[in-house]
Amino acid sequence: MLFDFFKKGGFLMYPILFCSILGLSIFLYKFFEYKRIFKELLYGIDFGFMKDLKIEKLSNSSELEIIWTKKIHQIEKGISTLNLLASISTLLGLTGTVVGMIQTFMVISNIEMPKPSMLASGIWQALITTAFGLFVAIPIHIGVHWLEKEMDEILVILKEKIINKNA
């Protein structure tokens, strides 16, 4: 049944599916990365995240600023891609709606009295691509929100560790 919906959604279903797979992959990668970072920050298990901070004491504030910027970049990496995938999948769903409605109006304009079944394929495509685009975008948005919350917690703990180390 799901495959039938996929086929009726038209060619735009493939990029939406790609966004779904890529979004899930990035989310899972970041999820497990954040878990490793938490373990390292809270329990001292060495996964390599804190290797820059193994130095006894950083000599000046510019070194500290460079390390802090690198850590923020490392933690944030991939989040903007997830936001982009959520936006793209929504827009692809909307594009499918437009394409489906264009097909429907083309049928109406070519035939004086079209049967409802003749209009159905365009309307199917419009509704299915919209739904699938949203089914992909909404969980990605929720995942991004959760990852950003985790990222904020990591940065607070990391800042405390850096300040305590250089106090």
Domain ranges of the chain: 10-36+62-165
| CA–CA distance, 84 with 80 (Å, rounded to integer) | 6
| CA–CA distance, 114 with 117 (Å, rounded to integer) | 8
User: Bigger pLDDT: 152 or 117?
Assistant: 152
Q: The tokens of 133 are what?
A: 């685009």
The pLDDT of residue 66 is 79
Instruction: Report whether pLDDT(55) > 60.
Output: no
pLDDT tens-digit readout, 77-95:
999 999 999 999 999 999 9
The pLDDT of residue 10 is 85
DSSP 82-137: HHHHHHHHHHHHHHHHHHHHHHHHHHHHH-SS--HHHHHHHHHHHHHHHHHHHHHH
The pLDDT of residue 56 is 52
Instruction: Report whether pLDDT(4) > 70.
Output: yes
Query: Rounded mean pLDDT of 86-114?
Result: 90
Q: What is the pTM of this model?
A: 0.83
Share of the chain above pLDDT 90, in %: 47
Give Cβ neighbours of residue 79 (< 8 Å, ≥ 6 apart).
30, 144, 147, 148, 151
The pLDDT of residue 53 is 63
User: Bigger pLDDT: 167 or 164?
Assistant: 164
The pLDDT of residue 114 is 80
